[in-house]
Amino acid sequence: MSIEVHIEELVLHGFDPHDRHAIMDAVQQELGRLLAERGVSAHAPLDVPRLDAGTIQLAGTRGGAAGASIAQAVHSTLAPASAPTPASDPKR
């Protein structure tokens, strides 16, 4: 199974513009890790034109740590804890 994720725009408020590449790299790395290890819910939509991962409190967080937290919020939106993931779904 192959999953392709394309993030056209990631809106962040209150971050130093110089941190944008570190944040972007961390989001990509952590989201890739989470998808590889945990997959997504069997009920996750295949095409998501807009995903709202909610408000994440990242006060004092910079660069990679912020990106990892963002990726975790995105993944939890695609694979809620109560939903079976491909690895835990016995029908797969």
**52-77: average pLDDT:** 82
| CA distance linking residue 77 with residue 71, whole number of Å | 10
Give yes or no for residue 23 having a pLDDT over 50. yes
Confidence class of residue 16 from pLDDT cuts 50, 70 and 90? confident
Please check whether residue 73 is in contact with residue 53, taking contact to mean a CB–CB distance below 8 angstroms: yes
| CA distance linking residue 91 with residue 15, whole number of Å | 43
Q: What is the pLDDT of residue 1?
A: 65
**% of the chain residues with pLDDT over 90:** 16
Q: CA triplet 35, 37, 42: central angle to 5 degrees?
A: 60
Out of 15-19, 28-32, 85-89, pick the least confident. 85-89
Out of 13-22, 69-78, 80-89, pick the least confident. 80-89
